[in-house]
Amino acid sequence: GAVVSQHPSWVICKSGTSVKIECRSLDFQATTMFWYRQFPKQSLMLMATSNEGSKATYEQGVEKDKFLINHASLTLSTLTVTSAHPEDSSFYICSARAPAQPQHFGDGTRLSIL
Partner 1 sequence: GDSVTQMEGPVTLSEEAFLTINCTYTATGYPSLFWYVQYPGEGLQLLLKATKADDKGSNKGFEATYRKETTSFHLEKGSVQVSDSAVYFCALRGTGTASKLTFGTGTRLQVTL
Site for partner 1, rule CB under 8 A = 4, 6, 34, 41-44, 46, 49, 93, 95, 102-108, 110
CA dist 112 and 84 (Å) reads 9
CB 44 to partner 1: min, Å: 5
Phi, psi values for residue 80, rounded to 5°: -115, 120
CB 43 to partner 1: min, Å: 5
Instruction: Tell me whether residue 44 or residue 62 sits nearer to partner 1 (CB atom).
Output: 44
Instruction: Tell me whether residue 13 or residue 46 sits nearer to partner 1 (CB atom).
Output: 46
Beta strands at 109-113 and 10-13: parallel, antiparallel or unpaired:
parallel
CA dist 85 and 92 (Å) reads 15
Measured between alpha carbons, how far is residue 11 from residues 19, 24, 94 in Å? 8, 18, 15
Instruction: Tell me whether residue 49 or residue 82 sits nearer to partner 1 (CB atom).
Output: 49
CB 106 to partner 1: min, Å: 5
